[in-house]
Amino acid sequence: MAKRVGESVFALLIVVLTAAVLLSLYLSIRYAELANEEATPGKSLCSFSEAYDCDAVLQTRYSTTFGIPNSTYSMVVYTCLLFCGLITWYQRGNLWRWYVRLGLLVDLVAVGISAYFAYILFFTPMPSVCVFCVALQICSVLAMICYIALLPSARQTSPGLRERPLAGMLILLCLILAAVEFLSIEQFRTNGKLAILQREYQTTLLNRAFNLCLFTNQPIIQVPLDEQTPVYGSPDARHTLIVFEDFQCGPCSRFHHAVSEAFTVFATDTFKVAFKHFPVGNDCNPAPVASYHPFSCTAAYASEAAHRQGKFWEYADLVFSNQPDLHADSFMQFARELNLDLERFEKDLLSDEVHKRVAADVELGQRLRIGGTPGALLDGRPLVGNELQPMFWSLIRSLEEMAPQALREMEARAAIIPLSVTDTVTPATSDLSVP
């Protein structure tokens, strides 16, 4: 009778472990499909309704540990328990007794982890309930009950001499099995990532062609650059980028750092950048209805004062890097960090010459109809769009890949607008760029 009960409990254990392996396998594959953008969320076997949808849970931060889906860990553990259980049951020796004890210990850990995730699933703000995750947690509890029921057949003995090679072989096979499962899931994810990169590459090529077409339809505006304009880069650079920026503008800071990074990627004679001030502050720019950036005008004056000591770009880097923490005393502090002549710096900061210089840049930006910052012109053509960083990078790459004859033909077809004879300039489009 006891033997039949043991066989029935073991049969139930095998069914539970098999179900746990299949559930874990499905959740692991589904996670990889969602991460690889190969499946539509909410269209899986586990998507019953908006309130009961595994996909929504698999896309949260709780679905992985160290970058690996939690279901993959479950699949490896339950596969090893299933494999070792089948081998040791038919061996019916001391290894079986050890298997019951170790299996119970491992499953107790699994139950504890399941309890933690059950708490997260039901008592924290989650987008949905993962039915298969709950089923997996139930399997861990059922397996624990089965191991407890099998304990009477497990006495405290050690493997015999003949059983030790079998024990070593089982451990080795479990390690190999775990490695194969982890590598298989990771390879599946890697293949999906490669497919995503391939799609992004094709999209990038399409966007580059679109951006280049939009760029070549812009007129070439002959913006004057005098010796007092801060310019960074080789004087012999093939391309010139003119930027209109506000030191308190978040997108300006990102664009500034993107342009700085471009200097480390492209050849030194690829492009140079000229800086023009366009602060969104009523102290120096009458265009804004409200002064959104209270320190933008002071920052512009301070950078011009640093420019008179040959430290414009270093000062601009400091201001943009500390943008969230700017206050009234920041500008003198930056001057100290750069070892500027503080007396001269403070004098230039308040001078009419510096103020007129910033006002001239603001007036130039208004004539160019710079509606927001950052504004930019590449080789005299306005960059239009909501995201200038990717557009700038794609255009530089496209222009560098063009043959010299094609560049000359493109310039010959462009409309030339001398800024000295026009009050305002309107770009061909305003926000059609594809990032």
* Residues 206, 54: Cα–Cα separation, whole Å: 35
Torsion of CA 32, 35, 37, 41, to 10 degrees: 90
DSSP secondary structure, 56-77, as one string: HHHTSGGGEETTEEHHHHHHHH
The pLDDT score that the predictor gives to residue 35 is 74
Q: Specify burial of residue 325 (Cβ count, 10 A radius: 0-12, 13-18, 19+).
A: exposed
Average pLDDT of the residues in 215-233: 85
Q: Is the pTM of this model over 0.75?
A: no
Work out the angle between the directed axes of helices 94-123 and 163-216 (0-180°, nearest 10).
30
pLDDT category at 189 given cuts 50, 70, 90 is low
Instruction: Return the H-helix or E-strand segment holding 200.
Output: helix 163-216
pLDDT of residue 310: 93
Alpha carbons 137 and 189: distance in angstroms, whole number: 25
Instruction: Provide the 10 A C-beta neighbour count for residue 223.
Output: 19
Whether 158 shows a pLDDT value over 50: the answer reads no
Token reading at 280: 């969104």
Listed range (52-66, 133-147, 219-233) with the worst mean pLDDT: 52-66
- Give the largest CA-CA distance in the chain: 106
Region of 424 (left: φ > 0; alpha: ψ -120 to 50; beta: rest) is: beta
pLDDT tens column, 70-115: 888 888 888 888 888 887 776 656 777 777 888 888 888 888 888 8
> For the domain 217-421, what is the CATH code?
3.40.30.10
Residue-range domain boundaries for the chain = 2-197, 217-421
What is the torsional sign of CA 121, 122, 127, 133?
positive
pLDDT above 90 for 242: yes
**Averaged pLDDT for residues 2-24:** 82
- Low-confidence winner among 8-12, 205-209, 352-356 (lowest mean pLDDT): 205-209
CATH number of 2-197, picked from 3.40.50.720, 1.10.12.10, 2.102.10.10, 1.20.1440.130: 1.20.1440.130
Distance CA 298, CA 300 (A): 5
Check whether 433 has a pLDDT greater than 50: no
**Eight-state DSSP code of residue 174:** H
Which of 27-41, 184-198, 254-268, 332-346 has the largest mean confidence?
A: 332-346
* Of residues 289 and 291, more confidently modeled: 291
Using 50, 70 and 90 to split pLDDT, how confident is the model at 201? very low
Q: Confidence band (pLDDT; 50, 70, 90) for 428?
A: very low
pLDDT at 435: 30
Per-residue pLDDT, 52: 86
